[in-house]
Each structure stands twice: as structure tokens, then as C-alpha cells.
Structure 1
Amino acid sequence: MNKGGTRTRSTWRLAGLILVLVTALAAQAEPPSSTIPGRKPDSSEPWSAFLGKVAHEAIGRAYSVQHPTSVVFLNTVDLYRIVEKGELGDPERLPGFVRRLRPDITDTRLLVLFELKPDNEKSREIGRKEAGRYLAALNEVAEPDKKLVGGTGFEGSLFLEFENGGALWPLSWRTPEPGVTLYRWSYRRKKPNASWKERAAQKAEELPREEIEQRGELAEQAIWAAYEGGERPKGFQGQVYLPVDYR
């Protein structure tokens, strides 16, 4: 009886272990419950880098919206695919280590390129070098009538307002030199029931650390929803003003 009981308990333990493993594997195979982006709670990514990625996505979307007839590639697409899909030339001529480089914005109809960087002198210099490197690589393989240049005249801003008259987060960008677009996040303090002109005229401040940690992920989700035309993220009671909303 003891041996039989031991075998029975062992069988049940084994069956339980298999069930746990099957359940875990099934959970991993299931698609994510939401397509809304977000920063993982255990992420060690600095908030500055996270907001930089948000800015890249938002500004790239803004460019695409402003140029609906263009073929626009954002920074998820490498040089090989830009040359191939943009029909610029022969992508096989790109050196192996260069093929994977990804410019921030490339417009193969207008034949212009932009590299996005935070609005400071050090980043501006880095952006200038990177844009030059991308242009040199593309133009080395592009057909004579499809050479690219650094883009100019690209500027704009969008605003996130948290609640009615709540904290205002402007994201602005400008292109002070060909191919280099500089962006800046800023902050306006709460001012309930103020008009839009009053809000815009408030003193620009640096985004407080506590604001970034509290609302950073929500800001990304709100911008994403505004461009996608989706539902507002849970907990966001304000408004997102895209460049086309207030011009």
C-alpha cells in the first residue's frame, strides 16, 4: 500500500508539473492583450531615453502626415530597405556594415533626410555627422537623378494637456541646418480654466523629474492614440493637440 501510495503521489506531482508547464507555454504563445505601447514597470531605461523615443515617433508621424504623397521611411527601416523600397538604386552595393543603419526620417519622393536629436549643441553636432554619413552611403548607390540632401524647413509642435487646465507638455522641433532636426520637451504649470492663448504664453520650464516618472508612459500612449485615432489610454483625461489641430 505504501509503495502504491508513493507511486500515486509521484504521478500526481508529475501531472501537476506538466500542467504548469503547458499553461506557462500557452500563456507565452498568446498574443499581447493590448497594442498600446508602454514602458515596462521593471525597465531600467532612463526616462530621458524613453522620452527621446517618444519624440522620434511623434515627429516622424508628424512628417508623414504633412507629406501624405511622399514615400517616408522612419527609423525602424534600414538603409538597405530604403534603397530597395524607395527605388533609389541597387541596395546590394551598400557595404555590409552600412546596410543596417537607420536614419530617422527619409523621404524618397522629395529626396530629403532628417536626423532627430535633442536641442543642444553636442547632440546637434552628432546629428550633423550622422546625417552626413547616411547621405554619403545613400548617394553612393543612388541613381544620378535620385541623390538625397539634408532636409530643411521642417518645424512644428504638439501639446499634451493633462486634465482641464492641468500640466501642459509641449514637444517642439526645428531644423536649424540641413538634415538636422532638434527637438525639445518643455513644461507649463497647471492653470485651470485658462484660455489656449494663456496656456501657450506661460513660462516654459524644464520637465520636472516627478512629472516624467508619473506621466511619461501615459504621454506616449496618448500621442500614439491621437495619431492612430484610437481610444484614450486609461487614466488620461486631457487632450493631445497635434500640429494639424491648431493651425
Structure 2
Amino acid sequence: MKNSGARTRSTLGLAGFLLVLVAALGAQAQPPSSKLPGRKPDSREPWGAFLGKAAHEVIGREYSVQHPNHRVFLDNVNLYDIVGDGKLGNPKRLPELVKRLRPDITDIDALVLFEIKPDDEESRREGREQAGRYLAALNEAVEPDKKLTGGTGFEGTVFLEFENGGALWKLSWRTPEPGVTLYRWSYRRKKPGASWKERAAQKEEELPREEVEQRGELAGQALRAAYEGGERPKGFQGQVYLPADCR
């Protein structure tokens, strides 16, 4: 009876561990809890996470803009659909626990993948590990001539100017190693009468929280309108300068 009880406890413990593991992987695979780059006023999401989601959307859109003839999957598409819809191989060869995971950018024409992270060493390591896991899983399921690698050479800058000479926000990104794209938000103080290029050369500062709280949703709407070719949002009197404008 003692051995039977021990076996029962061991079985229950293993089952509990597997449930936690599956739940964790499932949570990682879920789409963002809110679509950026704007959020509801009563959201309790940390501002850092909010700006991270905004960066993901802008960087993903920009990659698609720069590669208009490529089929690009962003982070709303999972590994199973990338392999199947992209006709890369047999998606059923993907392990069950990774089928729903979603890389940030996957270009199935260039056969490259990018994981987007904040520009700090811990996040860089995390991005390297995640990109490696995605590539390993994908390359087990794709045809031999369709193996993917980590993408390189992807960088850019976006500026948001609020009013003439008003606050200037900057989002920049770089890809310092294959498959890992790092982003950074920064801020320039008001300087009435100066051009945005003159203010872009000003001292770079951390984006103040009060700026994000006051202008976050408006900035998101302006960025989306710039990429979609829509009208600028009501209340936005500034300009959006996309990477093509910054070169």
C-alpha cells in the first residue's frame, strides 16, 4: 500500500508539472492581450510592455514594406501555419508543444526569421534563445531545400513629431546578430522653430512616462495611419517620419 501511495503521488506530481509546462507554452503562444500602438485608458499593462508591443508592430510592418514582393508572416501566425500555408514542408512534423508558437517575423521567400527584443543584454540573450528554438523546430518540418536561418542587416528609424518643434519620439532598431532585432525608444525635448532633423541631433533621453501616458494612444494611431496611408488622427498636429524619410 505504501508503494502504491508513493506511485500515486509521483504520478500526480508529474501530471501537475506537465500541466504547468503546457500552460506556460500556451501563454507564450497567445497573441498580444491588446492591439497596439494604443491602449485602453484603464489598462493595467506596464508601460514598458505597451511600448514593446508598439515596437513589434512598427518593425514588423516596416519589414513588410521593405520586402513588398516577399511573403512575410508576422507574430499573429504560428509555426504550424507558417509551414503549412507557406508550403515549406509538413507541419505535422512539428512537436505538439511548439505548433502554436509565433516568431515575430518570418520571411518564407528569403527563408529568414527575426525575433524582436528591447536593446539590452538580457533581452538579447532571450531573443537568441527563442530564435534558435523557432529555427530548430521549423527546420525539422521543412523540406531540405527550404531550411531557414536567422535574418541579418535589418535596421531602421521612425520619428514622431508632436506639433511644430514639439516633443520628438524616436524608435530605432538594429540586428546585431542573425535572427535578433533589438529596438530602442528615445526622446528629444521641445525646441520650437527647429526642424525635426535638427532636433533629431539633440541629446537623446529616455522617453518620459508622462509623455507615454499623454500621447501613447495618439502616437499609435498616427503610426498606423502612416503605414496604412490613412488620414492623420484627430488631435495629432505633428508628423510621422518613416525610415524612407530618415535616409
1:101 match: 101
Count of equivalent residues: 213
The answer to whether the 8 Å contact 1:169/1:187 transfers is yes
1:166 aligns with 2:204: no
- Aligned: 1:183 with 2:178: no
| Aligned CA-pair RMSD | 1.4
SS across alignment from 2:51: helix
Determine the structure 2 residue equivalent to 1:66.
66
Question: Partners in 2 of 1:52 and 1:118 — Cα distance?
Answer: 7
CA distance in structure 1 between the aligned counterparts of 2:79 and 2:60, rounded to whole angstroms: 17
Query: Is this contact kept in 2: 1:36–1:224, CA < 8 A?
Result: no
Q: What's the TM-score, normalizing by structure 2?
A: 0.84
Q: Which amino acid aligns with 1:169?
A: W
Residue in structure 1 matched with residue 216 of structure 2 by the alignment: 216
**Superposition deviation, residue 196 in structure 1:** 3.4
Task: State the Cα distance separating 1:171 from its structure 2 match.
Answer: 0.2
| Alignment match, 2:243 | 243
Following the alignment from structure 2 to structure 1, what is the Cα–Cα distance between the partners of residues 130 and 99?
Answer: 14
| Residues 36 and 57 in structure 2, CA contact (< 8 A), matched pair in contact too | no
Q: State the distance in 1 between where 2:203 and 2:165 align.
A: 15
User: 1:36: how far off?
Assistant: 9.4
Q: Which amino acid aligns with 2:195?
A: S
| Mean CA deviation greater in 123-132 or 193-202 | 193-202
Cα drift, residue 156 of structure 1? 0.6
Q: 1:135 maps to which residue? A: 135
Deviations 1:128-167 (A, max 9, x none): 0000000000000110110000000000100000001110
CA distance in 2, matches of 1:115, 1:141: 19
Q: Mark the runs of 5 or more structure 2 residues left unpaired by the alignment.
A: 1-34
Is contact 1:155–1:173 with CA below 8 Å preserved after alignment?
Answer: yes
1:153-211 Cα distance to aligned partner (Å, 9 max, x none): 00010000000111000100000000000000000000111123311210000001111
Stretches of structure 1 lacking an aligned partner (at least 5 in a row): 1-34
Which amino acid in structure 1 is aligned with residue 136 of structure 2?
A: A
Equivalent-residue separation in structure 2 for 1:39 and 1:231 (angstroms): 20
* Structure 2 contact 103–114 (Cα < 8 Å) conserved: yes
The equivalent of 2:113 in structure 1 is 113
Match of 2:22 in 1: none
Distance 2:56 2:168 in 1: 19
Q: In the alignment, is the contact (CA less than 8 A) between 2:159 and 2:240 conserved in 1?
A: yes
Shift of 1:68: 0.6
How far apart, in 1, do the equivalents of 2:196 and 2:99 lie? 46
- How far does the alpha carbon of each residue in 1:76-119 deviate from its partner, in whole angstroms, 9 at most, with x for none? 10001110111110011111111100000000000000000000
8 Å CA contact 2:37–2:50 kept in 1: the answer is: no
| Aligned counterpart, 1:156 | 156
Q: Partner of 1:183: helix, strand, or coil? A: strand
Distance 1:110 1:197 in 2: 33
Superposed, which structure 2 residues align to 1:3-152 within 5 Å? 38-152=38-152
Which of the pair has more CA radius of gyration?
1
Q: Which contiguous aligned blocks of 4+ residues in structure 1 show a shift greater than 2 angstroms?
A: 35-38
- Could you tell me how far apart the structure 2 residues matched to 1:243 and 1:85 are? 30
Could you tell me how far apart the structure 1 residues matched to 2:244 and 2:238 are? 18
